């Protein structure tokens, strides 16, 4: 594979309560990136400021964090021009890499605001370097600030943090030292663009679990009725399991379920109902092998859910 890595960092500005545009709460004012070749050697860098069009003053929180003055941005080019140049610079075969999961969503939101062609026709694969760092060097759960990770790895701190070019540089330094195994096994997906139809729904199998992201549904009930969304397939062979505990919920958003594969044993599923930007609903589902302990916990939780449902029903009857 000859994929290059585009390590990306964005700085953005925002409005105040009264001036915020919901279509673009965060306006990108700086793009910084480092290109690494397939061997993860740094081969090029990109840095560009952007002239704001929506928020004309720097929000005080932004001012506090990044050392930048509005005057410096006035001579810069507007977002669509910078973005086109940036994409050309990225080249053909690449994967975006960012510190944390936020940047690509905001990048695509800014692109949509200016009516630009979408980066992808659905979920966009990327590497979350913050998560990879945790998986490679720590417990996989902790999320460090970029600065704290840089300190931990004894990377020389030359430039200040919170400017797009320097943060992209530091992120690239960290990406270079992450073990190849973690890199290959843990691709993330940005869900700014959801699967447009059934055929493009996301189905990926990782080392210890499988993940599914559905297309959008007009309402929750439709999502929960969909045969694929509500299926609980074996993590190993992908065949339908025999239901042991049908999907139940403790909070109305996250559902849990248990199924048994004839060949590979019990599998537990977690199904999250999420709301998309456009107010529709979609499903993110993960399935992994279940231990005896998992089975026991799930049964207890299911009983709790059942009792809560009975209580609600009684309350409804009492009201009527």
Residues that bind Zn ion (CB under 5 A): 234, 236-237, 261, 263-264
Report strand pairing: 210-213 vs 242-249.
Answer: unpaired
Minimum distance, C-beta of residue 233 to Zn ion, in the bound complex (Å) = 8
| Eight-state DSSP code of residue 249 | E
Specify the residue, 127 or 234, whose C-beta has the smaller distance to Zn ion: 234
C-beta nearest to Zn ion: residue: 234
* Residue 267 Cβ vs Zn ion, minimum distance, rounded to whole Å: 8
**E strand residue ranges, 239-300:** 242-249, 254-261, 265-275, 281-289
Judged by CB, which is closer to Zn ion: 213, or 261?
Answer: 261
Instruction: Report how far residue 242's alpha carbon sits from residue 261's, in angstroms, rounded to the nearest whole number.
Output: 6
Instruction: Tell me the torsion sign for CA atoms 130, 131, 135, 140.
Output: positive
- Spell out the residues 6+ positions from residue 127 whose beta carbon is closer than 8 angstroms to its own: 5, 95, 96, 97, 98, 175, 183, 186, 187, 188
Closer to Zn ion by CB, 123 or 259: give it: 259
Nearest distance from C-beta of residue 208 to Zn ion, angstroms: 15
Q: Of 81 and 260, which CB lies nearer to Zn ion in the complex structure?
A: 260
Residue identified by tokens 């919170």 is: 162
- Six token digits for residue 319: 């009201």
Instruction: With beta carbons less than 8 A apart as the criterion, state whether 258 and 269 touch.
Output: yes
Query: In the complex, what is the shortest distance from the CB of residue 261 to Zn ion, in angstroms, rounded to a whole number?
Result: 3
Residue 300 is given by DSSP the state: H
3-state secondary structure of 118: coil
CA terminus-to-terminus distance, the chain: 65
Nearer to Zn ion, 160 or 238 (CB): 238
The nearest distance, CB 44 to Zn ion, in angstroms, is 46
Least distance CB 260 / Zn ion (angstroms): 9
Of residues 56 and 203, the one with the C-beta less far from Zn ion: 203
């Amino acid at each position: 594979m000859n994929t290059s890595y585009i390590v990306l960092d964005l700085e953005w500005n925002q409005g105040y309560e009264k001036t915020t545009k919901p279509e673009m709460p965060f306006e990108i004012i700086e793009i910084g990136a480092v290109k690494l070749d397939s061997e993860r050697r740094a081969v090029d860098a990109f840095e560009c400021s952007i002239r704001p069009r929506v928020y004309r003053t720097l929000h005080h929180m932004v001012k506090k964090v990044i050392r930048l003055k509005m005057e410096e941005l006035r001579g810069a080019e507007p977002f669509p021009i910078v973005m086109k140049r940036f994409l050309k610079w990225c080249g053909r075969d690449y994967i975006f890499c960012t510190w944390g999961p936020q940047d690509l969503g905001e990048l695509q939101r800014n692109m949509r605001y200016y009516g630009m062609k979408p980066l992808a026709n659905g979920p966009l694969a990327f590497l979350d370097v913050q998560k990879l760092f945790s998986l490679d060097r720590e417990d996989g759960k902790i999320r460090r600030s970029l600065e704290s990770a840089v300190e931990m790895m004894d990377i020389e701190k030359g430039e200040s943090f919170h400017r797009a070019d320097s943060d992209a540089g530091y992120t690239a330094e960290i990406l270079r030292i992450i073990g190849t195994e973690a890199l290959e096994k843990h691709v993330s997906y940005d869900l700014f663009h959801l699967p447009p139809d059934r055929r493009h729904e996301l189905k990926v199998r990782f080392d210890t679990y499988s993940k599914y992201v559905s297309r959008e549904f007009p309402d929750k009930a439709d999502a929960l009725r969909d045969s694929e969304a509500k299926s609980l397939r074996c993590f190993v062979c992908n065949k339908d399991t025999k239901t042991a505990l049908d999907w139940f919920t403790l909070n109305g958003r996250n559902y849990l379920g248990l199924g048994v594969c004839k060949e590979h044993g019990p599998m537990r599923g977690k199904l999250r109902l999420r709301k998309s930007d456009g107010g529709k609903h979609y499903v993110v589902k993960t399935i992994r092998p279940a231990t005896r302990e998992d089975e026991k916990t799930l049964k207890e939780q299911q009983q709790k859910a059942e009792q809560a449902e009975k209580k609600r029903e009684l309350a409804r009857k009492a009201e009527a």
